């Protein structure tokens, strides 16, 4: 993984159009020791306490400022500044993909939490009797809604195609009942988690991106139905649920925003 990352960055730096920079921003799956940048993303088992920030700084930026944060935090920052959360003070930016994470902007400011790990919505409990999660818990949103979990559930229900979320999504669009059930289960779980977060945080908008979210109505229809069922208070129901305006590059834009803030701090 590190070698592939180095090859990509080296190729960008070799190009005169992209080779000059003033600061470095990094988005990575969590959890992590922050701001030191020791990362332990659940879905990259080879990286446990991996010193990503130090390695990047040593190779590329000994004299440049560097910053790291969760990739979902990066998405939330970018969408709040330039995208679907623009003008809102209370924003939850979610990634639903190989994992499930989120970043928070409350009162117009990014929320880091005690350890820099605020926003791990993927580890809200949505089914106390649900499957075990790689975090050590049980019934977490991520254990139900992440791509590999969707594929595994479809296989349990009789799916015989390729055991990937991409293939299951295609099957669902073609009317396969096992595939439809897998996405319905995932969408409902996300909807329950979003309703809980909106009740706790009094949010203006929840922005949901990532590979699974890009399946569109396969995820969003059961998600919205579950949200409507569980959102009781009016202040919860008024929370908007939208896709990112910045598209798949929202996380990259957010990492750039974090780097930009090192050079020109926001007030």
Instruction: Catalogue all structural domains in the chain, each as residue range(s) with its CATH number.
Output: 2-72+249-263 (3.30.420.40), 87-245 (3.30.420.40)
Q: Are 72 and 93 in contact, with CB atoms under 8 Å apart? A: yes
In the sheet that 50-51 helps form, which strands lie side by side, from edge to edge? 32-33, 38-39, 50-51
Residue 254 CA to residue 246 CA, distance in Å, equals: 10
Structure tokens, 43: 């879905």
CA-CA distances (angstroms) from residue 210 to 98, 99, 182, 196, 247?
A: 8, 9, 17, 20, 9
Give how far Cα 264 sits from Cα of 3, 28, 54, 123, Å. 31, 22, 22, 34
Determine which helix (DSSP H) or strand (DSSP E) holds 177, and give its type and residue range. helix 177-201
Q: What is the pLDDT of residue 62?
A: 84
The rounded distance, in Å, linking the Cα atoms of 169 and 219 is 10
Contacts made by residues 10-13, CB under 8 angstroms, sequence distance 24+: 13/60
Coil, helix or strand at residue 100: strand
Please tell me the predicted confidence (pLDDT) of residue 263.
Answer: 87
Host H or E run for residue 255:
helix 250-263
Buried b (16+ CB within 10 A) or exposed e, 60-71: ebeeeebbbbbb
pLDDT for residue 96: 98
Q: Could you say which residues of the chain have pLDDT below 70?
A: 266-267
Task: Spell out the residues 6+ positions from residue 11 whose beta carbon is closer than 8 angstroms to its own.
Answer: none
Query: What pTM value is reported for the model?
Result: 0.93
Any idea which residue has 């296989």 for tokens?
155
For residues 88 and 204, the answer to whether their CB atoms sit within 8 Å is yes
Q: What pLDDT sits at residue 121?
A: 98
- Check residue 266 and give its pLDDT: 67
Given this model, what pLDDT does residue 63 score?
85
Residue 115 and residue 109 in contact, taking contact as beta carbons nearer than 8 Å: no
115 to 139, 173, 259: CA distances (angstroms): 23, 41, 20
Q: Which residue in this structure is represented by tokens 């992440």?
A: 146
Q: Where are the beta strands (DSSP E) in 162-246?
A: 205-209, 240-242
């Amino acid at each position: 993984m590190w070698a592939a990352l180095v090859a990509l960055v080296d190729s960008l730096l070799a190009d005169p159009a992209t080779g000059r920079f003033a600061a470095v921003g990094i988005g990575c799956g969590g959890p992590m020791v922050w701001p030191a940048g020791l990362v332990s993303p659940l879905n990259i088992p080879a990286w446990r306490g991996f010193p990503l920030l130090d390695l990047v700084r040593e190779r590329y930026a000994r004299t440049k400022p560097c910053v790291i944060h969760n990739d979902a935090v990066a998405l939330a920052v970018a969408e709040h500044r330039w995208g679907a959360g623009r003008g809102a003070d209370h924003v939850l930016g979610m990634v639903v993909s190989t994992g499930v994470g989120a970043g928070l902007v409350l009162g117009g400011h990014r929320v880091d939490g005690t350890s820099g790990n605020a926003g791990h919505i993927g580890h809200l409990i949505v089914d106390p009797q649900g499957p075990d999660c790689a975090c050590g818990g049980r019934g977490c949103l991520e254990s139900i809604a992440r791509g590999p979990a969707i594929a595994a559930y479809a296989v349990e229900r009789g799916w015989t195609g390729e055991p990937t979320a991409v293939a299951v999504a295609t099957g669902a669009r073609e009317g396969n009942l096992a595939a439809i059930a897998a996405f319905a289960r995932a969408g409902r779980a996300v909807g329950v988690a979003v309703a809980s977060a909106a009740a706790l945080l009094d949010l203006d908008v929840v922005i949901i991106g990532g590979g699974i979210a890009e399946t569109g109505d396969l995820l969003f229809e059961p998600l919205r139905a579950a949200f409507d069922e569980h959102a009781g208070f009016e202040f919860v129901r008024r929370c908007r649920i939208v896709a990112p305006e910045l598209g798949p590059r929202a996380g990259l834009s957010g990492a750039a925003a974090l780097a930009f803030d090192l050079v020109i701090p926001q007030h």
